[in-house]
Amino acid sequence: MKILKAITLALGELEQPVVTSYQLGKIIFRLYKTKSYKSESINVQKPHAEASTYNQNLKGLQEEGILTMYKGLPAKSVFSLLGRNHDSVEDIVCTVDPFAYISHLSAMEYHGLTNRMPSKLFMSSPTPKKWKEFAKEKMEKDLGEDIQVYLQNGMPELRKTKLEKVNRKEIHRFNSVHWGAYKNIKGRTMRVSTIGRTFLDMLRNPELCGGINHVLEIYENHTESYQKLIINEIDQHGAPIDKIRAGYIMGERLKMNFDELSEWVKQVQRGGSRKLDASGEYEPVWSDTWCLSLNIIENS
């Protein structure tokens, strides 16, 4: 079997809308190493793929129309696959950034918590430093003992792609120090923050979730339906300020009572200047129980 045919067949097995240069590099490297595709031998002589063979095969795939430069991104490291439908921006960003997931107002829309239609796609991804660490760990896991040979031969590395617009849709990539708590969507490459994490994100960044008043509205309308998931997420992963904000909203505003509330109130700091709306200015109106500035303008 010719190498170009083997690469084409391997690409056909990918269940994703686009392919990155790193993903293509892994396929080419594996085929050159094993010199076979599903027990059928491949006619290659080199012991390992290298930068020149990668470029040669990429050119061949493009000439055959198997791969074309993906036009929805300025990056030259993302390719469209022949015959693939790549209408979903969510699937594309989660393919291009393997550590990203849909979050904030976009996750609220996905979970049916809001009727707002975000003009941007909100996604969370690790901080640049953490992203590099995760990329290194993923490459080591993907390539195993061959990683040094792969790198020494100049094969494409896993690198962060700039995502500002995809198919003309503006992307808001939030570099989160609280990265995690997402779920994979069956049959798609899309990942989205869990219900519990979505409610926690509302407390941390209401400005990315439609504003504090919209957040309060969502808590009022949906907390009862997801009470256990919300409480567990905030109790396990929330910082003290997250628990105070949640305690005020759920305990004082919504008049809810649950076991964790008595522990959350212990996080209160007397004489502090903590705010309900993390993105707003401090206001001299507060909750005595939670020592929290209620820096919101109530809807009339």
For 110, left (φ over 0), alpha (ψ -120 to 50), or beta? alpha
pLDDT at 299: 57
Q: Please, which pLDDT band fits residue 283 given cuts at 50, 70 and 90?
A: confident
**Hey, what are 238's tokens?**
């929330």
Segment 54-74 shows an average pLDDT of 94
Residue 277 is given by DSSP the state S
Residue 174 is given by DSSP the state E
Output 190 or 167, whichever has higher pLDDT: 190
* Contact criterion met (CB below 8 Å) for 73 and 161: yes
Residue 50 is given by DSSP the state -
Specify which residues 166 forms β-bridges with.
169
Spatial separation of the C-alpha atoms in residues 185 and 137, rounded to whole Å? 23
* Contact criterion met (CB below 8 Å) for 100 and 94: yes
* Contact criterion met (CB below 8 Å) for 78 and 93: no
Name the nearest CA neighbour of 154 among 56, 51, 25, 24.
Answer: 51
* Contact criterion met (CB below 8 Å) for 195 and 231: no
> CA separation (Å) from 188 to 10, 13, 86, 279?
18, 14, 11, 34
Altogether, the residues listed in the chain come to a count of 300
Using a pLDDT cut of 90, give the percent of the chain over it. Answer: 82
Q: What is the pTM of this model?
A: 0.91
- Mean pLDDT, the chain, integer: 93
Least confident residue range of 29-33, 104-108, 202-206, 278-282: 278-282
pLDDT at 74: 79
pLDDT at 260: 96
pLDDT at 75: 80
Whether the per-residue pLDDT at 300 is higher than 50: the answer is no
pLDDT at 296: 87
**Boundaries of every domain in the chain:** 3-192, 206-293
Specify which residues 79 forms β-bridges with.
19, 69
Dihedral over Cα of 48, 140, 15, 125: its sign: negative
Name the nearest CA neighbour of 138 among 221, 26, 19.
Answer: 26
**Hey, what are 210's tokens?**
């439609």
Whether the per-residue pLDDT at 297 is higher than 90: the answer is no
Could you report the per-residue pLDDT of 238-247, keeping only the tens digit for each?
999 999 999 9
* Contact criterion met (CB below 8 Å) for 101 and 184: no
SS3 44: coil
> CA separation (Å) from 218 to 213, 290, 300?
9, 21, 17
pLDDT at 83: 84
